[in-house]
């Protein structure tokens, strides 16, 4: 219990008030005694790109279930939103099977190659080398997404991969990139130009395609066809594997065919936490998201947030976030490599101890670690949510990590590699691109999965259910937490995704605040309590589907902060 002792124990008391930080504008009216629906009878999909959402519906119309639709959405995003996720990256998925009410977590996270060498991420003078951590083949882990798609089809889908990958293959034959992708290409042009195959893919005439121009991705179409035809061996051995390894090694990376052949998807037990009558099913390690969300909710469950004014409510939430992120830095990593005190971290008694350390009306300074500087959390990762007609549900967050991943495309494959190696604590206690610090638990080791913040979640309440998630680096955790609280407070899908955000991650000891999240009274009160508030441009790209089991209505919404997403019910 080393952590619990770090905090001074003080008794708690606060000022009760009225307005709510999470209360939705117009709560769903309660409908008394209506029998609850057992299956929706129609489907809802929310993703970051309209083509991907439509691809999901196309596969449902062919007789697929939510998991087949998820394959269609993820593979289409690989083509149309490569700045966020793709075959060269990985994903984490929380699945719920309606037939037996069983949930499972699919870990298709990348792994470090066997030859990983921490020295590659240091400059000769011992300072962190941010370029090798974030750009080029050394920044890339062994991709998990292709294996994850094959796994979903084999174990949970109804259709063959040839059917569920068909929309992505067709779209790769020609589509109009959206402005967000074109902007990402322009932003990363200098890095893209470092590798000829990257330039050939993203800068067809020496520059990003013009808006409205049709873009073709024949190499990725071919790679997807091999995956559809041969499953795992269509990517992890044979032609694609050889091209990937050759390209990586020629450009100074250290992958081997064995690294690819030995990649395995892991099925894990999700983390579940009960909060105010709702069951939250969320991501276990190697994501830190579920542990942090559970810890925060366990701390908050000792308070009645609905009775507090916004400033005191935010105070408690931020203090809970601070304590959960503190544990994130110290304890969490790949469960196949590190022993984590999960029983302690998830225990209500542990939360009781942490709750006691929250000082009323006063911020607790985060003082143990040197301050770090989080960069813009951006939205270069993607989340989508699906509920099908039978009530099967899937929440998937997929990523190549930072914008356009490593910017390195393996020649002849169309596959843009991730830069997920930066999610390891490559240099102990030096911040990664999201300002996260890490320790030995998240140090790089051969075959190890790097810690993630991805938090695809399913929330089952007494009469409403939500599928929720978002990109945003370390802010994923706090976005999903705040989205869950907004849902529990009665918010509909649009209200949940639109909900104004704030974030604290222990270090730096600053509350980042979206414009409009707090009124002047709240900001003044928080400043008076000792918080440093920093306004930041809106972040995240949340996609949510909600099933109201009283009215049997589905409701899907995509984050209004972004233009290209589509939440749709049909």
Active site residues: 381
Whole-angstrom distance between the N-terminal and C-terminal Cα of the chain? 50
Shortest distance (Å) from residue 500 CB to ligand DON: 18
CA gap 310, 13 in Å, rounded: 15
Q: CB neighbours of 5 closer than 8 A, spacing ≥ 6?
A: none
Annotated binding residues, written as ranges, equal 109, 399-401, 423, 452-453, 473
Among 385, 442, 453, 479, binds ligand DON (CB under 6 A): 453
> Is residue 472 involved in binding ligand DON (CB under 6 A)?
yes
Shortest distance (Å) from residue 418 CB to ligand DON: 8
Window of 189-197, 202-210, 277-285, 466-474 that interacts with ligand DON by CB under 6 A = 466-474
- Going along 5-101, which residue ranges are E strands? 44-47, 90-97
Nearer to ligand DON, 379 or 395 (CB): 379
**What is the 3-class SS of 173-239, one letter each residue?**
CCECCCHHHHHHHHHCHHHHCCCHHHHHHHCCCCCCCCCCCCECCHHHHHHHHHHHHHCCHHHHCHH
Among 73, 80, 454, 481, binds ligand DON (CB under 6 A): 454
Nearer to ligand DON, 374 or 529 (CB): 374
Q: What is the largest CA-CA distance in the chain?
A: 69
Shortest distance (Å) from residue 380 CB to ligand DON: 4
DSSP state of 333: S
Nearer to ligand DON, 163 or 451 (CB): 451
Shortest distance (Å) from residue 564 CB to ligand DON: 15
Residues 182-221 that bind ligand DON (CB under 6 A): none
CB atoms near residue 563 (< 10 Å): 11
Shortest distance (Å) from residue 94 CB to ligand DON: 15
Rounded-to-10 torsion of CA 79, 451, 453, 398 = 10
Size of the site for ligand DON (CB under 6 A): 16
> Is residue 135 involved in binding ligand DON (CB under 6 A)?
no
Nearer to ligand DON, 296 or 476 (CB): 476
- Going along 291-345, which residue ranges are E strands? none
The values of phi and psi at residue 541, to 5°, are: -155, 75
Nearer to ligand DON, 240 or 381 (CB): 381
Nearer to ligand DON, 328 or 550 (CB): 328
Residues 383-422 that bind ligand DON (CB under 6 A): 399, 401, 420
Q: Dig out the tokens for 32 from the structure.
A: 């008394």
Among 93, 293, 297, 476, binds ligand DON (CB under 6 A): 476
In terms of Cβ atoms closer than 10 Å to its own Cβ (0-12, 13-18, 19+), residue 200 is: middle
- Going along 413-475, which residue ranges are E strands? 415-416, 457-460, 464-468
CA gap 154, 136 in Å, rounded: 32
Shortest distance (Å) from residue 472 CB to ligand DON: 5
Nearer to ligand DON, 89 or 231 (CB): 89
Among 145, 295, 423, 564, binds ligand DON (CB under 6 A): 423
Among 164, 223, 372, 452, binds ligand DON (CB under 6 A): 452
Shortest distance (Å) from residue 519 CB to ligand DON: 28
CA gap 458, 108 in Å, rounded: 18
Rounded-to-10 torsion of CA 262, 267, 268, 272 = 150
Nearer to ligand DON, 401 or 495 (CB): 401
Q: CB neighbours of 309 closer than 8 A, spacing ≥ 6?
A: 15, 16, 17, 18, 19, 522, 525
Annotated binding residues for L-glutamate, written as ranges, equal 109, 399-401, 423, 452-453, 473
Q: CB neighbours of 164 closer than 8 A, spacing ≥ 6?
A: 59, 64, 68, 69, 71, 72, 75, 149, 153, 157
Q: What angle do CA 394, 221, 151 make, to 5 degrees?
A: 35
Shortest distance (Å) from residue 475 CB to ligand DON: 8
The values of phi and psi at residue 534, to 5°, are: -130, 120
> Is residue 94 involved in binding ligand DON (CB under 6 A)?
no
Nearer to ligand DON, 379 or 566 (CB): 379
Binding mask 429-448 for ligand DON (x = CB under 6 A): --------------------
Contact 419/400 with Cβ under 8 angstroms? yes
CA gap 214, 138 in Å, rounded: 32
CA gap 232, 220 in Å, rounded: 16
Strand order in the sheet with 511-513: 502-503, 511-513, 533-535
Residues 367-386 that bind ligand DON (CB under 6 A): 377-381
Q: Dig out the tokens for 15 from the structure.
A: 């000022």
Shortest distance (Å) from residue 320 CB to ligand DON: 20
Q: CB neighbours of 64 closer than 8 A, spacing ≥ 6?
A: 72, 157, 158, 159, 163, 164
Q: Give residues in contact with ligand DON (CB under 6 A).
A: 377-381, 399, 401, 420, 423, 452-454, 471-473, 476
């Amino acid at each position: 219990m080393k952590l619990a002792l770090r905090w001074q124990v003080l008794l708690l008391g606060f000022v009760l008030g009225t307005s709510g930080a999470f209360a939705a504008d117009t709560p769903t009216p309660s409908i008394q005694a209506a029998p609850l629906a057992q299956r929706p009878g129609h489907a809802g999909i929310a993703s970051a790109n309209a083509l991907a959402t439509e691809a999901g519906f196309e596969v449902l119309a062919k007789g697929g279930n939510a998991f087949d639709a998820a394959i269609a959405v993820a593979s289409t995003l690989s083509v149309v939103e490569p700045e966020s996720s793709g075959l060269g990256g990985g994903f984490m998925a929380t699945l719920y099977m309606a037939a037996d009410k069983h949930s499972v977590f699919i870990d298709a996270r990348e792994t470090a190659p066997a030859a990983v060498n921490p020295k590659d991420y240091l400059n000769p003078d011992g300072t962190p080398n941010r370029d090798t951590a974030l750009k080029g083949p050394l920044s890339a882990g062994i991709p998990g997404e292709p294996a994850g798609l094959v796994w979903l089809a084999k174990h949970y889908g109804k259709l063959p991969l040839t059917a569920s990958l068909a929309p992505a293959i067709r779209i790769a034959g020609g589509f109009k990139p959206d402005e967000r992708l074109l902007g990402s290409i322009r932003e990363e042009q200098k890095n893209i130009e470092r590798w000829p195959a990257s330039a050939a893919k993203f800068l067809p005439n020496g520059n990003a395609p013009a808006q409205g121009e049709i873009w073709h991705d024949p190499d990725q179409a071919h790679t997807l066809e091999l995956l559809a035809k041969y499953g795992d061996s269509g990517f992890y051995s044979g032609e694609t594997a050889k091209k990937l390894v050759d390209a990586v090694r020629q450009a100074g990376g250290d992958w081997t065919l064995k690294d690819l052949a030995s990649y395995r998807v892991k099925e894990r037990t999700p983390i579940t936490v009960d909060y105010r009558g709702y069951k939250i099913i969320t991501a276990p390690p190697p994501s830190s998201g579920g542990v942090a969300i559970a810890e925060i909710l366990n701390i908050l469950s000792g308070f009645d947030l609905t009775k507090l004014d916004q400033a005191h409510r935010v105070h408690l939430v931020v203090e809970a976030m601070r304590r959960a992120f503190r544990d994130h830095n110290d304890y969490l990593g790949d469960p196949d490599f590190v022993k984590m005190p999960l029983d302690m971290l998830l225990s209500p008694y542990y939360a009781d101890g942490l709750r006691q350390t929250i000082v009323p009306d006063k911020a607790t300074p985060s003082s143990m670690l040197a301050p770090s500087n989080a960069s813009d959390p951006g939205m270069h990762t993607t989340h989508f949510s699906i509920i099908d007609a039978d009530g099967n549900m899937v929440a998937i967050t997929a990523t190549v990590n930072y914008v356009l991943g490593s910017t390195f495309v393996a020649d002849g494959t169309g596959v843009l590699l991730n830069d997920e190696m930066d999610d390891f604590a490559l240099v102990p206690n030096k911040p990664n691109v999201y300002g996260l610090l890490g320790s030995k638990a998240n140090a790089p080791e051969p075959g190890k999965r790097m810690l993630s913040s991805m938090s695809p979640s399913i929330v089952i309440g007494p009469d409403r259910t939500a599928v929720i998630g978002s990109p945003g680096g370390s802010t994923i955790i706090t976005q999903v937490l705040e989205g869950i609280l907004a849902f529990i407070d009665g918010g509909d899908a649009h209200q949940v995704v639109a909900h104004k955000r704030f974030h604290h991650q222990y270090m730096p000891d600053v509350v980042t605040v979206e414009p409009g999240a707090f009124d002047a009274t709240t900001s003044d009160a928080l400043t008076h309590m000792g918080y440093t508030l920093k306004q930041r441009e809106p972040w995240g790209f949340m996609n949510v589907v909600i099933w109201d089991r009283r009215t049997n209505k589905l409701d899907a919404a995509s984050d209004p902060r972004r233009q290209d997403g589509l939440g749709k019910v049909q």
